[in-house]
Amino acid sequence: MFSARLIVVYVLVTNINQAENFKEDQSHWKKLGEQELKEALSKRPIEDVAKNVILFIGDGMGLTTITSSRIYGKGETGHLAWEKFNNIGVLKTYSADKLVPDSCSTATALFCGVKANHKTSGVDATVETDDCEASLKPEARLESLVTWAQKAGKSTGFVTTTRVTHATPSALYAHVPNRKWECESTVPPSSSECKDIARQLIEDAPGKYINVIMGGGRQCLQSGVNDSEADPIDTWSCYSKDGRNLIEDWKGDKANRMTSYQVITNNLELENLDHLTEYTLGIFANGHLKLDHARDRGPNGMPSLTNMTEKAIRLLSKNSNGFFLMVEGGMIDFSHHRGHARQALDETVAFSDAIEKTLEIIDTSETLVVVTSDHSHSMVFTGYPDRGSSVLNSIPSAMDQVPYTSLLYGTGGPNNYQFQVENGTVIRPDPTKEDTTSFSYSQQAVVLTDEVTHSGTDVLVYAKGPMAHLFNSVHEQTYVAYVICYAAKIGPHQVNKSTTVGFYMFVSVVGVFICIINI
CA end-to-end span of the chain: 73
CB 149 within 8 Å of CB 490: yes
Residue 375 is labelled as binding a ligand: yes
Residue 292 is labelled as binding a ligand: no
Separation between Cα atoms, residue 50 and residue 296, nearest integer Å:
37
Residue 293 is labelled as binding a ligand: no
DSSP secondary structure letters along 318-371: T-TT-EEEEEEETHHHHHHHTT-HHHHHHHHHHHHHHHHHHHHHS-TTTEEEEE
Separation between Cα atoms, residue 90 and residue 275, nearest integer Å:
37
Separation between Cα atoms, residue 34 and residue 42, nearest integer Å:
12
* CA quadruple 133, 330, 78, 36: dihedral, nearest 10: -20
CB 351 within 8 Å of CB 58: yes
Name the DSSP class of 261: E
Residue 374 is labelled as binding a ligand: yes
The continuous run of DSSP H or E covering 422 comes out as strand 420-422
Separation between Cα atoms, residue 16 and residue 26, nearest integer Å:
21
CB 483 within 8 Å of CB 471: yes
Separation between Cα atoms, residue 265 and residue 282, nearest integer Å:
6
* Beta pairing, strands 394-395 & 404-405: antiparallel
Write out the E strands in 114-199.
Answer: 155-163
Counting Cα atoms < 13 Å in the Cβ hemisphere of 300 gives 2
The residue type of 37 is L
Tell whether the torsion through CA atoms of 494, 366, 57 and 358 is positive or negative: positive
CB 291 within 8 Å of CB 346: yes
Residue 275 is labelled as binding a ligand: no
Residue 48 is labelled as binding a ligand: no
Q: Which one from 68, 69, 95, 103 is the annotated catalytic residue?
A: 103
Residue 79 is labelled as binding a ligand: no
The continuous run of DSSP H or E covering 167 comes out as helix 167-173
Among this protein's residues, is 228 annotated catalytic? no
Say if residue 303 is preceded by a cis peptide, omega within 30 of 0: no
Residues annotated in the binding site, as ranges?
59, 166, 168, 328, 333, 337, 374-375, 454
- Kindly list the catalytic residues: 103
Residues annotated in the binding site for Mg(2+), as ranges?
59, 166, 168, 328
